[in-house]
């Protein structure tokens, strides 16, 4: 016997998945890199304007001059990574604290909230940012954790006690719905694990078929 | 009408010739002297020109002439370009048209006849001009000894003088026309070109100043952008579900049966914020 599967009309407020969050993060990274590039350009121009050409060259042109060596190059790369990380941290913490969303998340219709629904404050935002570094240095495992976690939380979410939810009337695309509808007849009813979900929370049937 | 420098050849002119028009000239005669009165209550929208010397009739004629010249020039340029493109492309070597019924035969015949006639007429005209030239040279050389002598000259000289005067007057009139054309042709072309550009500019500015049109374009743009973003987001939501499904399958974890519902606090926060946004 097949159980009728209902796809929620809107996923607003539901936990956001890995792809949406990854795209939002990539957009944020692109924004920060662009800002960093502009910042370096402005600083370089300022140094040149005040006659500090050698200093500007030593800082921003690692492969020119006699001082260039592998160690110096690595140091400069590390310095640039740290600078970029600081920019990213300041940017994300600022926006999370202010409006619970970064610009990339605004574009993707996502919002970061505490698990109890409260808005983010400064401390959870800092914790979440530190969690980002932890997730990153663990070969990205902390980010990939979103794919298998029940509430789609990464390590950084668990550290800061936050979740990321859809902040728009999210819906599954037409093709996906058709694909799911096409596989609906193969669904075999399974006992429900718990009574958490109403009909609106029922997940697409295809994922129940197990292949 | 008196024309300065009328005895000089057109090629000698370095600057436009000043033409002075007398009151009894043909051009002024063409301007209607009587004014037509409109019925009471009807007024024309045409404002009286600021320049008292403005001649509307002459301006329109100049505009028509300039437009014709400019249009013809543009048409020739475009035709030349199209012909060159056709010659360069492979289309010029395409197969001849097919004949499927009698109508096709008649159509092809008419086209062929027209082309053949136009070419033939051109060649015949050239031949006629050459024949005429040869005839006059032949007859002139034969008749000259008879005409150019003292006896006949006594009778023909008055006619010759009268004929010369006639020719001179005709030549002077032709020179006047040439000078007039030389004077006004650049201005006429410029007028036609400027009027075209101004009409196009006015049309574009009218479109841009039209609030309804602007709001329509704006709404369409916003709607299109919103739809694009929504579509992109929808695809990522689908990709979220798909990626999760694939990873769970790889890890041999049971597929997710239900989306875990968000807590009541989260739903309240999101819904309240949505309500606030809609109010604002």
Tell me the mean pLDDT in the region A20-33: 94
3-class SS string, chain A = CCCCCCCCCCCCCCECCHHHHHHHHHHHHHHHHHHHHHHHHHHHHHHHHCCCHHHHHHHHCCCCCCCCCHHHHHHHHHHHHHHHHHHHHHHHHHHHHHHCCCHHHHHHCEEEEECCCCCCCHHHHHHHHHHHHHHHHCCCHHHHHHHCCCCCCCHHHHHHCEEEEECCCCCCCHHHHHHHHHCHHHCCCCCCCCCCCCHHHECCCHHHHCC
- Rounded-to-integer distance, Cα A115 and Cα A120, Å: 10
* Domain membership flag for residue B143: yes
Q: Please tell me whether residues B122 and B245 are part of one structural domain.
A: no
> Are B260 and A117 within 8 A, CB to CB?
no
Q: Please tell me whether residues B225 and B113 are part of one structural domain.
A: no
pLDDT of residue A106: 93
Task: Quote the mean pLDDT of chain A.
Answer: 78
* Domain membership flag for residue B3: no
Contact A15, A163 (CB under 8 A): yes
Sign of CA dihedral A18, A22, A23, A24: positive
Structure-token match 């935002």, residue found: A125
**H helix runs in chain B, sequence order:** 26-30, 56-88, 102-147, 150-209, 211-250, 264-279
Q: Please tell me whether residues B249 and B120 are part of one structural domain.
A: no
Q: Please tell me whether residues B115 and B252 are part of one structural domain.
A: no
pLDDT of residue B230: 86
Concatenated DSSP letters of B108-125: HHHHHHHHHHHHHHHHHH
CA atoms within 13 Å, Cβ hemisphere of B16: 11
* Domain membership flag for residue B32: no
* Domain membership flag for residue B195: yes
pLDDT of residue A7: 56
Q: Please tell me whether residues B227 and B125 are part of one structural domain.
A: no
Domain of B252, in residue numbers: 211-259
Task: Determine contact: B252 vs chain A, CB below 8 A.
Answer: no
Question: What residues contact A35, with CB distance under 8 A and at least 6 apart?
Answer: A87, A91
> Are A206 and B245 within 8 A, CB to CB?
yes
Q: Please tell me whether residues B68 and B205 are part of one structural domain.
A: yes
Q: Please tell me whether residues B114 and B236 are part of one structural domain.
A: no
Tell me the pLDDT tens digit for each residue of A88-123.
999 999 999 999 999 999 999 999 999 988 899 999
> Are B233 and A15 within 8 A, CB to CB?
no
More reliable by pLDDT, B192 or A158: A158
How far away is chain A from the Cα of B257, in angstroms, using its nearest Cα?
Answer: 6
Alpha-carbon dihedral of residues A102, A105, A111, A113, nearest 10 degrees? Answer: -50
Could you say which DSSP state residue B20 is in? E
Least confident of A55-59, A190-194, B136-140, B201-205: A190-194
List chain B residues with CB under 8 Å of A118: 265, 269
* pTM of full prediction above 0.80: no
Task: Determine contact: A198 vs chain B, CB below 8 A.
Answer: yes
Contact B99, B107 (CB under 8 A): no
Contact B49, B35 (CB under 8 A): no
Tell me the mean pLDDT in the region A186-208: 39
Question: What residues contact B154, with CB distance under 8 A and at least 6 apart?
Answer: none
* Domain membership flag for residue B185: yes
Q: At what angle do helices B150-209 and B211-250 cross, to 10 degrees?
A: 60
Instruction: Report how many domains make up chain B.
Output: 3
Tell me the mean pLDDT in the region A45-62: 75
Task: Quote the mean pLDDT of chain B.
Answer: 76
pLDDT of residue B4: 44
pLDDT of residue B168: 92
Q: Please tell me whether residues B117 and B244 are part of one structural domain.
A: no
> Are A173 and B234 within 8 A, CB to CB?
yes
Tell me the pLDDT tens digit for each residue of B69-111.
888 888 898 988 888 887 777 655 667 788 888 888 888 888 8
Least confident of A117-121, B1-5, B172-176: B1-5
Q: Please tell me whether residues B58 and B182 are part of one structural domain.
A: yes
* Domain membership flag for residue B274: no
* Domain membership flag for residue B28: no
How many beta-carbon contacts under 8 Å exist across A and B?
144
- Rounded-to-integer distance, Cα A42 and Cα A50, Å: 12
Could you say which DSSP state residue B90 is in? G
Could you give the percent of chain B with pLDDT greater than 70? Answer: 76
- Rounded-to-integer distance, Cα A100 and Cα A125, Å: 9
> Are A197 and B258 within 8 A, CB to CB?
yes
Nearest to A26 by CA among A87, A82, A93, A102: A102
Task: Determine contact: A20 vs chain B, CB below 8 A.
Answer: yes
Contact A184, A5 (CB under 8 A): yes
How far away is chain B from the Cα of A81, in angstroms, using its nearest Cα?
Answer: 29
Res. A25 pLDDT band, cuts 50 70 90: very high
Task: Determine contact: B237 vs chain A, CB below 8 A.
Answer: yes
pLDDT of residue A68: 61
Contact A123, A113 (CB under 8 A): no
> Which member of A13, A173, A193 has the closest CB to residue B266?
A13
> Are A117 and B267 within 8 A, CB to CB?
yes
In terms of average pLDDT, the best of A56-60, A179-183, B235-239, B266-270 is B235-239
Res. A162 pLDDT band, cuts 50 70 90: very high
Q: What is the ipTM of this complex?
A: 0.73
Tell me the pLDDT tens digit for each residue of B104-131.
888 888 888 888 888 888 888 999 998 9
Tell me the mean pLDDT in the region B261-265: 80
């Amino acid at each position: 016997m097949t159980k009728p599967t209902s796809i929620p009309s809107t996923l607003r407020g539901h936990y956001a998945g890995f792809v949406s969050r990854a795209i939002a993060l990539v957009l944020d990274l692109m924004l920060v890199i662009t800002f960093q590039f502009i910042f370096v350009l402005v600083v370089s121009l300022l140094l040149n304007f005040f006659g500090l050409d050698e200093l500007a060259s030593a800082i921003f042109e690692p492969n020119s001059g006699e001082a260039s060596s592998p160690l110096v190059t690595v140091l400069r790369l590390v310095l640039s990574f740290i600078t970029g990380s600081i920019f990213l941290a300041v940017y994300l913490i600022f926006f999370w604290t202010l409006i619970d969303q970064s610009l990339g998340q605004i574009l993707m219709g996502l919002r970061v909230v505490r698990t109890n629904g409260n808005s983010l404050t400064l401390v959870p935002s800092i914790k979440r940012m530190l969690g980002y570094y932890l997730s990153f240095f663990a070969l990205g495992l902390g980010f990939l954790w979103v794919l298998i976690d029940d509430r789609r939380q990464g390590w950084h979410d668990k550290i800061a006690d936050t979740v990321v939810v859809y902040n728009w009337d999210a819906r599954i695309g037409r093709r996906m719905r058709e694909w799911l509808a096409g596989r609906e007849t193969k669904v075999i009813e399974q006992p429900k694990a718990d009574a958490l979900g109403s009909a609106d929370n029922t997940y697409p049937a295809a994922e129940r078929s197990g292949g | 009408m008196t024309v300065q420098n009328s005895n000089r050849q057109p090629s000698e002119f370095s600057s436009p010739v000043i033409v002075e028009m007398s009151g009894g000239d043909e051009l002024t005669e063409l301007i209607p002297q009587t004014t037509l009165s409109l019925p009471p209550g009807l007024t024309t929208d045409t404002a009286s020109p600021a320049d008292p010397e403005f001649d509307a009739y002459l301006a329109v004629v100049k505009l028509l002439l300039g437009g014709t010249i400019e249009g013809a020039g543009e048409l020739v340029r475009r035709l030349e370009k199209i012909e060159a493109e056709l010659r360069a492309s492979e289309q010029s070597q395409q197969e001849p048209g097919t004949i499927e019924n009698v109508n096709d035969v008649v159509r092809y015949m008419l086209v062929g006849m027209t082309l053949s006639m136009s070419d033939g007429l051109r060649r015949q005209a050239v031949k006629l001009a050459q024949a005429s030239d040869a005839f006059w040279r032949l007859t002139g050389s034969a008749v000259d000894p008879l005409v150019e002598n003292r006896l006949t000259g006594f009778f023909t000289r008055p006619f010759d003088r009268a004929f010369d005067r006639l020719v001179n007057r005709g030549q002077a009139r032709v020179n006047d026309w040439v000078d007039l054309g030389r004077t006004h042709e650049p201005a006429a072309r410029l007028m036609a070109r400027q009027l075209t550009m101004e009409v196009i500019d006015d049309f574009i500015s009218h479109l841009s100043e039209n609030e309804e049109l602007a709001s329509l374009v704006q709404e369409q743009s916003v709607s299109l952008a919103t739809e694009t973003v929504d579509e992109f987001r929808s695809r990522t939501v689908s990709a979220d579900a798909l990626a999760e499904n694939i990873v769970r399958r790889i890890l041999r974890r049971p597929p997710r049966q239900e989306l875990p519902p968000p807590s009541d606090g989260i739903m309240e926060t999101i819904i309240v914020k949505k309500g606030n946004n809609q109010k604002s």
